[in-house]
Structure 1
Amino acid sequence: MRTLAQVTAEPVSRQERKQRTRQALLDAALELLAERAFANLSLREVTKRAGIVPTAFYRHFASMDELGVALVEESMRTLRRMIRSARSNPRTYTHIIRASVRTLHEHVRAHEDHFRFLTRERYSGSGPVQRAIAIELKLFSSDLAVDLARFEHLREWNTDDLHMMADLIVTAMLSTVVELIEARPRDEETDALIVKTAEKRLRLIFLGVPNWRVVR
């Protein structure tokens, strides 16, 4: 990561400089979170890593919790957009499963620090950061429920059942995220097995839930 001094040496507007400093704080926090929980992170550590004085922190975030929430939003925003793109043309269940899982795999491998932070704080965090993760996952699930309703055999489902199925899919995908982050050994063969297992989980959900709904 380039230091803030290197970044701000380039001729930019005041607004651009402010945005770059804000991003430098987010990047610094994420680097420091690679081996620890958010609750153990201090403002002074973050500002030192970002290359700014501690008092300048408050020009961008009201508190460390606000920075944590911003990290959650940044971590989830791109994923939701990419997954939505993968689901943009749901010709078949197989198509949406394969596209979504492979998009998830690529995104986790490209942004492992973000996903390590999300999975750790989801289960062991507290306060605003943990609540922000819950909200983002709910939004993710709601987006998926809307997409599911586009399938011919799901159009007659009520909202509660669509959201239940979407929640199951999101839970399965989170399991895949954890498996990718914790994968040993870290090689193509291991990743291929994780992707294959993820696709199988989702097929079971797509095939099993409609049948459950018929016999319940």
Structure 2
Amino acid sequence: MATGRGRAERTSVHDADDAGSVSEAGSRAERKEQTRRRLLAVTLKLIEQRSLASLSLREVAREAGIVPTAFYRHFASIDELGVELVDEAMRPLRQMIREARRGQAAHGDIIVDTVAILARQVRAHPNQFRFLTRERYGGVAGVRRGIATELRLFTSDLTVDLSRLTVGLDWTSDDLEMAAGLMVAAMLGTVMELLEVDDRHPEDAEFVLDRAQRQLRLIVLGMGEWRSKP
């Protein structure tokens, strides 16, 4: 007959085994995520001065320190990795700007906050934005579609917010979308200009940001005078 001490020892061993299994599974998941992040990072590094279409899977795997077959544990192809890079760049930017537009930013001036967020993200992740601007018309169809989709989502978010700001002006949905598109285009232009600024001349960045604010204010002022055709 098993003693109480024997049962306790077996229970303790089982609990330890379970804890070890959970810890091992967690470690595997962490290692997999680390490798995935490394693949994304080395791809951005490799395409600083070249296109995504010029990369081979073997080249990316070698730079990340893994065998080519291990690449497929994370992405089905270089194209899929590129689409993930689009999401990594655009999703947080859309979220932060959405919060600024909806009054959650501290400054209180939506245009100032929007331009500041944009500048901060470009400074923090220049390679991501170089990738976006280069691949928007690049040779990888899936990535082009991914960028176009993100820009449509950006425009759609802004269209919804503009509909709230123009209550009583009887704007059509087409006109709202047109105004949102103008704002998104202005922000894209700002991104491209910021990427060309020399860090040794911060006054150039200030000029770009000041003009970006004035462009957005000009669009808003024009909206106040616009009336949709019946």
In 2, Cα distance between equivalents of 1:42 and 1:207:
49
- Say whether 1:208 aligns with 2:222: yes
Q: Which moved more, 1:206-215 or 1:45-54?
A: 206-215
In 1, Cα distance between equivalents of 2:151 and 2:36:
24
Say what the alpha-carbon RMSD is for the aligned residues.
Answer: 2.4
Matched residue pairs, number?
205
In 2, Cα distance between equivalents of 1:111 and 1:201:
24
Q: How far did residue 153 of structure 1 move?
A: 4.8
Aligned in 2, Cα 1:102/1:151: closer, same or farther, shift over 3 Å?
same
Question: Which residue of 2 is the match for residue 112 of structure 1?
Answer: 126
> Does structure 2 conserve the Cα–Cα contact (< 8 Å) formed by 1:148 and 1:154?
no
Larger radius of gyration: 2
Q: Runs of 5+ in structure 1 lacking a partner?
A: 1-10
Question: Which residue of 2 is the match for residue 62 of structure 1?
Answer: 76
> Does structure 2 conserve the Cα–Cα contact (< 8 Å) formed by 1:149 and 1:155?
no
In 1, Cα distance between equivalents of 2:225 and 2:110:
19
Question: Which residue of 2 is the match for residue 134 of structure 1?
Answer: 148
Question: Which residue of 2 is the match for residue 42 of structure 1?
Answer: 56
Give the TM-score normalised by structure 1: 0.87
Question: Which residue of 1 is the match for residue 96 of structure 2?
Answer: 82
Match of 1:25 among 6, 22, 39: 39
* AA matched with 2:151: L
Q: How far did residue 159 of structure 1 move?
A: 2.0
Residue pairs, 1:103-182, within 5 angstroms: 103-153=117-167, 156-182=170-196
> Does structure 1 conserve the Cα–Cα contact (< 8 Å) formed by 2:40 and 2:85?
yes
Aligned in 2, Cα 1:214/1:68: closer, same or farther, shift over 3 Å?
closer
Q: Runs of 5+ in structure 2 lacking a partner?
A: 1-24
Aligned in 2, Cα 1:167/1:64: closer, same or farther, shift over 3 Å?
same
Percent identical among aligned pairs is 54
